[in-house]
Chains A and B, each alone.
Chain A
Amino acid sequence: MSKSVDQIFVNAKQWLLSWLMPAPAWVVQIVSSLINIFALLAVFLTLFALMSVLERKILGRIQNRYGPNRVGPFGLLQPVADGIKMLIKEDIVPARADKLVHFLAPILIAAAAILALGVIPYGRNMTPFTIDGGILFFFAVGSTTELAVFMAGWGSNNKFSMLGAMRAIAQMISYELPLIITVLPVVMVVGALVPDRIVAAQAEYTLGVVPRWFVFTPWGATAFILFFVSGLVESNRTPFDVPEGESEIVAGHMTEYSGFKYATFFMAEYIGMFAITGLAATLFLGGWHSPLSVLEFIPSYVWFFAKLSALLLVYVWLRGTLPRTRIDQIMNFAWKFILPMSFTCVIAAAVWHYAGRGLRGWLWSFVVIAIVYTALSMLLDTQRKFAPRTYRFAE
């Protein structure tokens, strides 16, 4: 029973494909891909709509107010109203803009965000596209975002857009490095770049209780935190939302976009956020596996989306709690702390592996991380008084 509920979507797809039996193989393959794409878009666009209203409601609660509650029951139809508003707005293109680049930027950024969703395993046998090198695909596609942001900033021909794009690219490049290096220990330990294999490696339970998720090892926990912070920066969320800091540079690279193009940027940002949290859940939180072996009767995709929602809730929570950091603080944090710590994770994972993956390895890798962490915090000396700042402008 639980098995058929678990596989209900897979079976539904097989049933749909069985109508196509007489067609040649390549037709079946294309239709199968199309089904995957439609399912992916339907699920994540719904999640985007839901997330946009839930975020506002949760933020409202954090700030001791109600949040949207007028449209539909509990304000749940708010995204529909927003969508209609965005669609019927006038689409303004600045007269001196680079029209083609200005037009292509939102398309590219949305395409990159959606493509990245394609390689994440959402449940048992529920990876839309299995590529040998799926993790690399994720980052290869994700790196296109930087170019798209730059296109938006350049194409608008506006100083706020350009400054926002510069900030965005500077912080995205700085944090892409730790983002990838924190994935390395997982890839090293599993020995595969395929997300399915990584999920399968976290299937067992130690002593039948504690799941063997990588987040429960010292290197995994450190890597997870670093990955999460870097992901926060990559998706331009508070406290790292300097690229679009409203009080400083209007809306960063999105300043000159209006109407549906702006909505596309907004959507790409949220979908990028889903992708990166989904990857975090896959890499460190056991993907679609249940946290307790007795709870395995609950379908796998429910677990995956539960983990995804939990991480998204933390995103919203952080947004409601923390103020915006300064750009130089962000950069210093990336290069002086996050990057050395992520290299330490790689070493700690190697130590864990060669000390036998047991308690001994656990302790040794903990020691490695503790030493580097202490040394870094002493060297960086967070109590230091800041010297008067000197401003240097780009020439």
Chain B
Amino acid sequence: MSSAAFVLIAMVTLAAALAAATLQKLMHATLSFAVALVGVAAFFFLLGAEFVGLVLVFVYIGAVAVLIVFTILLTRRDVGKDRGANWGGALLAVAVFGGLAWAVFKTQSVAIGAPHIRALTVKRIGEALMTSYVWPLQCVGLLLTAALIGALVLVMEEKR
């Protein structure tokens, strides 16, 4: 885990996230959001959780970002611009960041380096998913099915 990579990824991620939150054009904001998520996935790689990083790219770029651009397309009539940031939101965001940062710096137990741990292979994740996490897995499957049906029902044309 090198500092140079960390600094680079952090700068790209945060810049993209800020762009996603403040850019006025919907399309640009969505693409910046995609870049920010690639940055988060790069953090996961840096932390040794490659599988989760790949899943994140796969789900967010391949599915969520495409869904968002599709929605932009289907609701194109009032697409285009939105105000960037307003003062209230910015103030609150800065306050939240300040509070979180203060808490992080106050807590001595988090100022630690990374211990040496066993590499997290896909096999280990699969075994954990199928043994101790099998009930959550089933619940997520049920939830995804429900979300799929719900989304379909919501966007279905109403019969007149």
List CB contacts (< 8 Å) of A163-211 with chain B.
166, 169, 173, 176, 191-193
Q: Which residues of A contact B55 (CB under 8 A)?
A: 136, 140
Q: Which residues of B contact A141 (CB under 8 A)?
A: 57
CB <8 Å contact, B74 and A147: no
CB <8 Å contact, B122 and A193: yes
Give Cα distance in the complex from A239 to B122, angstroms.
Answer: 37
Q: Which residues of B contact A169 (CB under 8 A)?
A: 66, 70
List CB contacts (< 8 Å) of B39-80 with chain A.
50-51, 54-55, 57-58, 61-63, 65-66, 69-70, 73-74, 77
Return B123 CB to nearest CB of chain A, in Å.
7
Give Cα distance in the complex from A173 to B50, angstroms.
Answer: 24
CB <8 Å contact, A394 and B54: no
Q: Which residues of A contact B34 (CB under 8 A)?
A: 147
Fill in one digit per residue for B94-118: 1 if any A CB lies within 8 Å of its CB, else 0.
0000000000000000000000000
Give Cα distance in the complex from A140 to B44, angstroms.
Answer: 14
Give Cα distance in the complex from A377 to B65, angstroms.
Answer: 35
CB <8 Å contact, B54 and A166: no
CB <8 Å contact, A173 and B66: yes
CB <8 Å contact, B74 and A394: yes
Give Cα distance in the complex from A64 to B159, angstroms.
Answer: 53
Q: Which residues of B contact A150 (CB under 8 A)?
A: 66, 69
Q: At the interface, yes or no: A133 with Cβ under 8 Å from chain B?
A: yes
CB <8 Å contact, B27 and A133: no
CB <8 Å contact, A140 and B51: no
Most chain A Cβ neighbours within 10 Å, of B34, B122, B123: B122
Give Cα distance in the complex from A146 to B55, angstroms.
Answer: 16
Fill in one digit per residue for B123-134: 1 if any A CB lies within 8 Å of its CB, else 0.
100000000000
Instruction: Tell whether A101 pairs with B31 under 8 Å between CB atoms, given A146-B62, A166-B73.
Output: yes
CB <8 Å contact, B65 and A147: yes
CB <8 Å contact, A133 and B50: yes
CB <8 Å contact, A151 and B31: yes
Q: At the interface, yes or no: B121 with Cβ under 8 Å from chain A?
A: yes
Most chain B Cβ neighbours within 10 Å, of A147, A151, A395: A147
CB <8 Å contact, A139 and B58: yes
Return A275 CB to nearest CB of chain B, in Å.
16
Q: At the interface, yes or no: A143 with Cβ under 8 Å from chain B?
A: yes
CB <8 Å contact, B122 and A133: yes
Instruction: Tell whether A136 pairs with B28 under 8 Å between CB atoms, given A144-B61, A192-B123.
Output: no
Q: Which residues of B contact A191 (CB under 8 A)?
A: 123
CB <8 Å contact, B54 and A137: yes
Majority SS of interface residues in chain B? helix
Q: At the interface, yes or no: A301 with Cβ under 8 Å from chain B?
A: no
Q: At the interface, yes or no: A100 with Cβ under 8 Å from chain B?
A: yes
Q: At the interface, yes or no: A296 with Cβ under 8 Å from chain B?
A: no
Q: Which residues of B contact A136 (CB under 8 A)?
A: 51, 54-55, 58, 122
Q: At the interface, yes or no: A154 with Cβ under 8 Å from chain B?
A: yes
Q: At the interface, yes or no: A55 with Cβ under 8 Å from chain B?
A: no
Return A209 CB to nearest CB of chain B, in Å.
33
Q: Which residues of A contact B122 (CB under 8 A)?
A: 132-133, 136, 192-193
Instruction: Tell whether A140 pairs with B66 under 8 Å between CB atoms, given A98-B27, A147-B34.
Output: no
Q: At the interface, yes or no: A35 with Cβ under 8 Å from chain B?
A: no
Q: At the interface, yes or no: A316 with Cβ under 8 Å from chain B?
A: no
Q: Please, which residue of chain A has its CB at the minimum distance from the CB of B45?
A: A131
CB <8 Å contact, B58 and A131: no
CB <8 Å contact, A147 and B66: yes
B54: contacting residue among A101, A133, A144, A162, CB under 8 A: A133
Return B40 CB to nearest CB of chain A, in Å.
13
Return B6 CB to nearest CB of chain A, in Å.
15
Fill in one digit per residue for A43-84: 1 if any B CB lies within 8 Å of its CB, else 0.
000000000000000000000000000000000000000000
Q: Which residues of A contact B28 (CB under 8 A)?
A: 98, 100-101
Instruction: Tell whether A176 pairs with B69 under 8 Å between CB atoms, given A100-B28, A136-B51, A192-B122.
Output: no
Return A141 CB to nearest CB of chain B, in Å.
8
Q: Please, which residue of chain A has its CB at the minimum distance from the CB of B77?
A: A395
Give Cα distance in the complex from A140 to B37, angstroms.
Answer: 13
Of the A-B pairs whose beta carbons lie under 8 Å apart in the complex, a sample of 18, sorted by A's number, is: A98-B27, A101-B28, A131-B50, A132-B51, A132-B121, A133-B122, A136-B58, A137-B54, A140-B58, A140-B62, A144-B61, A146-B62, A146-B66, A169-B70, A173-B66, A192-B122, A394-B74, A395-B77
List A residues at the B interface (Cβ < 8 Å): 98, 100-101, 104, 131-133, 136-137, 139-141, 143-144, 146-147, 150-151, 154, 162, 166, 169, 173, 176, 191-193, 394-395
